[in-house]
Amino acid sequence: MRQTTAVILGAGKGTRMKSDLPKVLHTVEGKPMVQHTIERARAAGVSDIIIVVGYKRDMVMEALKDLDVKFAIQEEQRGTGHAVAQARPYLENFDGNVVVLYGDMPLLSTETIRSLIQRRDETNAAGAILTIVLDNPPDFGRIVRDETGRVLRVVEVKDASPEILAIKEVNVGAYCFDCQALLPALDQLRDDNAQGEFYLTDVVEILAGQGLRVETVVTPNLEEALGVNDPVHLAFAEKLSDIRYAESLYDLIDATVAMSRARRSGGAASEGSP
């Protein structure tokens, strides 16, 4: 396996968390969410880890100071592609894999991260991305393929047509790229989209447009697709072991809402309750 560096995105405030604490420092099972991501990346064989920080960065850096990670600063939040680009000083002379992960996905497993790295290595593709197929997908970017199954692009929901929204395979938000393919693609990102941001997902279309392949790893584990975006999700992540395997992501959301209501009422909730 080639040497692998991870870039973990942790610059956001997380306004929906309704807290001044940086989003990635909220705890799951007694440790900051981002620490789960760091530990699982290391267990998957990642050699160096770069954390992209922004909101209250001194607090995040202090919390992670003993974890042997490097920091890149995103002064202004201009999208996920822009965030990854802030790690460029560490990557310019690197010839290996770059795994990109989110610091608010504490349920992503070591096995899945390792699978992404292995898929990129085994196929020698420009990149590999984690996807999931759902009958009723939430607002995740859709995976657009050609008639042969080759990945062409990822289209964010706000930019998607009704035809694109009908696609059931969606982007989870974990990636492994060949570093020397990733960096030039980052330079080509544009912010002419519904959110006015530089999307990391646009790297897929740029690479495909160059005739390069982007492979996928399809996860069957719905819980891995859950990013923690608000206190309800945080409660769910803490209680995941108490919930049976859900049939759809909406069952997970229903279970989360049920636990939130139970917490407010002081009572217990049944599994999958609305």
CATH number of 4-225: 3.90.550.10
**Per-residue model confidence (pLDDT) at position 268:** 36
The per-residue pLDDT for range 123-140, each reduced to its tens digit, is 999 999 999 998 888 788
Side chain identity at residue 118, one-letter code = Q
Catalytic residue among 2, 16, 150, 190: 16
**Per-residue model confidence (pLDDT) at position 138:** 79
Told to judge if 16 belongs to the known catalytic residues of this protein, a careful annotator would answer: yes
Q: Domain extents for the chain? A: 4-225
**Per-residue model confidence (pLDDT) at position 104:** 86
Q: Give the tokens for residue 33.
A: 């969410």
**Per-residue model confidence (pLDDT) at position 249:** 46
**Per-residue model confidence (pLDDT) at position 239:** 55
Flag residues of the chain having pLDDT under 70: 1, 14-19, 225-274
Long-range contacts of 53-62 (CB under 8 A, 24+ apart): 53/10, 53/11, 54/10, 54/11, 54/12, 54/83, 55/11, 55/12, 55/13, 55/22, 55/23, 56/13, 56/20, 56/21, 56/22, 57/11, 59/21, 59/22, 59/25, 60/10, 60/22, 60/24, 60/25, 60/34
**Per-residue model confidence (pLDDT) at position 225:** 66
Q: Give the tokens for residue 60.
A: 């995040």
**Per-residue model confidence (pLDDT) at position 12:** 79
